[in-house]
Amino acid sequence: MGTETATFGGGCFWCTEAAMKELDGITSVISGYAGGSTENPTYEAVCSGTTGHAEVVQVEYDPDEISYDELLEVFFATHDPTQLNRQGPDVGTQYRSIVLYHDEKQRERAAAYIEALDEEYADDVVTELDPLERFWRAESHHQDYFEKNPNDAYCRMHAQPKVEKVRERFQSKLQQV
């Protein structure tokens, strides 16, 4: 059947990328920007809050090994979907919770997941659900950031706990090394 693609934004893309890369059935995870209006956005422009983009990851996966619903489960388990325009210390619209769907089936699955999740939280789930119009790959130094910088203070405080959560909660779906 081949691979499929999913796009998620749940705060800093370094953290989301690191968590998703743990999963079996993932063929690639690319950090980037989506959901905005500026052509060829840069990290600095996105961080200014003027482009409308969110930091996102584009996940290529084998649906015979991991389902879109399982990706949604991991995505929502590794960030707080009730925080508007922030995750932890990262504040701004670029850190919003967003699912960018690639087709109608993804839209339906994500909408159903968000609706069910809304009942589990005391606060409203604020995750945006929008069609992916364009994905812009982030600069090369943002790719595989956690892997390349495991001792970085930000990574130790924010990415590492998300990776550990995935390892603990989703053991049956982990990459076999």
**Which residues does the annotation mark as catalytic?**
12
Count CA atoms closer than 13 A to 17's CA, side-chain side: 23
Identity of the residue numbered 141 = H
Cβ-based neighbour number of residue 164 at 10 Å: 12
Rounded CA-CA distance 9/104 in Å is: 19
HEC assignment per residue over 46-101: HHCCCCCCEEEEEEEECCCCCCHHHHHHHHHHCCCCCCCCEECCEECHHHCEEEEE
Best CA proximity match to 80, nearest among 65, 96, 93, 59: 96
